[in-house]
Amino acid sequence: MKILFVCLGNICRSPLAEGILRKLSPELEIDSAGTSNFHIGSQPDYRMIETAKQYDIDISGLAARQFTKKDFDYFDRIIVMDAANYRNVIRLAKDDNDKCKVKFALEENKDVPDPYFGGKEGFEKVYQLLFNACQQILNSIEKR
Ligand code: 4NP
């Protein structure tokens, strides 16, 4: 099972989700990407590195990359953080099989709020949301 997390910049939400799920399930293949090219090659945002570190997760070695349509061929599930990510990913799908791989991280297709322009508490909130989401993802995989 290969899982790709997607957000806008690939420096806050999706690298954290990658780090959390990798810790919960070291045997899964997990990656993350951004729909934008804003931060290609960058390390995760230092505020997210710090938040992750508080939960004993090290994401400091990750580097941002941009989502591409080839990701549909490689990954089994593509998990987006918000509705804008969803639109930008779906736009690159070649068929319904590709589209079916795309899911929201949160139930009811709610957005994981973008913490980039806010304060520290936004990063903590994202951790809580994504920790729960990753547990749900694992449950759904184990039930298959
Ligand atoms: P992310 O957060 O999508 O969770 O990585 C953002 C990072 C950077 C920007 C926006 C959101 N930005 O506008 O540069």
- Which three-class secondary structure string do you get for the chain? CEEEEEECCCCCHHHHHHHHHHHHCCCCEEEEEECCCCCCCCCCCHHHHHHHHHCCCCCCCCCCCECCCCHHHHCCEEEECCHHHHHHHHCCCCCHHHHHCEEECCHHHCCCCCCCCCCHHHHHHHHHHHHHHHHHHHHHHHCC
For ligand 1, the distance from its centroid to the CA atom of residue 63, given in whole angstroms, is 14
pLDDT at 143 over 80: no
Is 12 annotated in the active site? no
130 lines ligand 1 (CB under 6 A): no
Among residues 22, 31, 114, 134, the one annotated as catalytic is 114
Which residue has the CA at smallest separation from atom 3 of ligand 1?
Answer: 8
pLDDT at 144 over 80: no
pLDDT tens, position by position, 1-53 = 999 999 999 999 999 999 999 999 999 999 999 999 999 999 999 999 999 99
7 lines ligand 1 (CB under 6 A): yes
Is 13 annotated in the active site? yes
Q: Is the pTM of this model over 0.95?
A: yes
pLDDT tens, position by position, 45-97 = 999 999 999 999 999 999 999 999 999 999 999 999 999 999 999 999 999 99
pLDDT at 142: 83
